[in-house]
Structures are given as C-alpha cells and as structure tokens.
Amino acid sequence: MDNKQQQLYLGIDGGGSKCKAVILNKDMQILGEGIAGAANPFHSLEKAQSSIVAAAELALENANLDKHLVPELIAGIGLAGVNLPKYFKLMNAWQHPFKSMHLATDLHIACLGAHNGEDGAIMITGTGSCGYVSVNGDSLIIGGHGFPHGDICSGAWLGFQAVEKVLLAYDGIIQPTLLSEKVFKQLNCSDSNTLVETIAGHGATYYGRLAISVFDAADAGDEVAKNIITEGCDYFVAVFNKLKAKGSVKLSLIGGLKPRLIEWLPTEIVDNITVAENPPEVGAVLFAMNEENKK
C-alpha cells in the first residue's frame, strides 16, 4: 500500500538540546527520521513547537514523503519539561498542525520504548539524570530536578564536582591529583583564575563534557575521581531501590554515560539491567497508538 494511503505516525523525543522525530507506519516500520533544535517548553514554548514541526518535516523528507503530509500524522510527543503541570497544560493547548497529538513526558516515552510498551523502569544517565518506573499504569519519577540543584550522578554533576575538587586542590585544601591535571588540560587552563574565567556562565552541557576526565582519572586510580563516582553511584543505588519498590521490573540504563558508569555499579544492579528495545521516539509512537485505541 502507498504510504500516502495508510495511516502514518510521528514519534517525537524533545529535550533541551535537540528534538528527534521518527515516522512509522501501522506495522511499526521506521520510514524516516529527523533531528531539529531544542524542544523543552520550560526553556521556550515557541522554540519547542517550531522544533517539533521542523523535525517532523525532516523525518517526512527522509522518508521521501511530502511535508504537506504533516496534517495527516498522528503524533506521539514526549518532551522534557512537561512533567511540570504548567508546561504540560501550555503544550497541550497548542494549536498543532497534526491530525491528533498525544503528549507525555520524555521519561514516559523512553520507558515505553525501552520495554516495548510493557511495564519497566529506566535510569537516565546523560548530561542529566533521572529515574522513572511504570507498573500497572502507576508511575513514579525520582530526581530530574535539573542542574545544578539536582541531577546527581549525571555528566554535568560529575563535571561540576571535578571542577570543585580541582579548585580546592589548587588552593592547597586537598592534595592535587591526576584529576587536576586532566581538567586543566581539557579546558586548556594553567591556573585557578583562568579556570574560573573559562567555566563562568556555562551550564549543564558544558560541565557534562568534563565527565570523561573524571572517569579517565578514576580508571587510572585517582582517589579523588573515584570518590566522586562512588558518591554518584551511591545515589544511583538509592534511586534504583526506590524504583524497584514499585514492583519487580526490568531496568534499562539510557544515556551517554552508560558505557563508563556501568563499570562502577554494583553487581546486583548490573544484573537487573536490560538493553532498551527501542529508542524514546518509537516509544512516543507506541504511546500515541495506545491513546488512539482508547477513543
């Protein structure tokens, strides 16, 4: 059947740095993908909406379909920021261009995608961090409060902790270690003044890039770096236990830190980790299909 004659679905995973879109048919075949700019309505409602449309059009183009098919799409949209009721209400009131729109948090669609629509739990371990579990329609979010007041065990948190320790070492409060050398080298700084000038005004994404120096130093035996990661892992374990208390569920670890962090987690957690079956944007389509079936 011609794609223009069958129902097409749009899946959106929108966050603070990018918006990923996927076009699927009713048989869950991926036809096209697209990436546009930031799509967190907490930062900018207008930007989030324009990024969603742009990503949808790029995904249609990638599928060799006309962008004028946008009004025919059933859209499942998962966004960072809509866990806050104010921004969920604002986004849900959007006069969107789609055939229909079903809105959820980025955590919910990530969990649906990871476990192919079944119950389960996820831990986000990227620039930010968060835990989420959904069991029998009941869900729970742990963390996700944002940097710098939250997001423990995230890339941003690890990088921020590293800078703090490097400055303490430079002032002679603690002993300088390999971590100091790696951070100074990565940021191309020679002393505390240039370090402070370099990091001034930067946010989570910037600090997240420093996480690699923390892991590299820890792998080389640096005790300061190891202590930072251990503190983060202690938080991870506490979150995992809270998620598991909701029921015996599968856990997927999602985010750029996964390959490095998993080496530091205790065996009882690693043994519970399963590979995510689908990306969040596919989870958004699963969500939309389920909501459409309720009509």
Same domain for 218 and 258? yes
Domains identified in the chain, total number: 2
pLDDT at 61: 97
Domain housing 258: 155-270
pLDDT digits (tens, 9 = 90+) for 225-256: 999 999 999 999 999 999 999 887 789 999 88
| Same structural domain, 109 and 182 | no
Q: Do the domain assignments include residue 241?
A: yes
Q: What angle do CA 40, 257, 125 make, to 5 degrees?
A: 45
pTM recorded for the entire structure: 0.87
190 and 286 share a domain? no
pLDDT of residue 255: 87
Q: Is there a domain that residue 194 lies in?
A: yes
The DSSP result for 191-235, as a single string, is SHHHHHHHHTT--HHHHHTTHHHHHHHHHTT-HHHHHHHHHHHHH
Is there a domain that residue 134 lies in? no
Q: Which residues of the chain have pLDDT under 50?
A: 1-4
Query: What pLDDT was estimated at residue 1?
Result: 37
How many helices (H) and strands (E) would you count in the chain? 12, 9
CA-based radius of gyration for the chain: 21
Q: Are residues 173 and 254 in the same domain?
A: yes
